[in-house]
Amino acid sequence: MKMMSEEQIPDFVRDVAETGCDITAVLGVGYVIGDSDLPLEAYERIAPRLKEINEIYGGRDHLLHEIAEYLLSIGKYYPKDRDLRTPRN
Q: Report how far apart, in Å, the C-alpha atoms of 44 and of each of 7, 22, 56 are.
A: 30, 16, 19
Answer yes or no: is 25 within a domain.
yes
Per the model's pLDDT, the better-predicted residue between 84 and 79 turns out to be 79
Mean pLDDT of the chain: 90
Tens-digit pLDDT profile for residues 32-60: 998 877 889 999 999 999 999 999 999 99
User: In which domain, by residue range, is 16 found?
Assistant: 6-78
Q: Does 67 have pLDDT greater than 50?
A: yes
Shortest CA distance to 77 belongs to which of 34, 35, 27?
A: 27
Answer yes or no: is 17 within a domain.
yes
DSSP-assigned beta bridge partners for residue 78: 26
Tens-digit pLDDT profile for residues 9-22: 999 999 999 998 99
3-state class (DSSP) for residue 3: strand
Report percent pLDDT > 90 for the chain: 73
Structural domains in the chain (count): 1
Q: Work out the number of other CB atoms within 10 angstroms of the CB of residue 63.
A: 21
**CA–CA distance, 34 with 76 (Å, rounded to integer):** 12
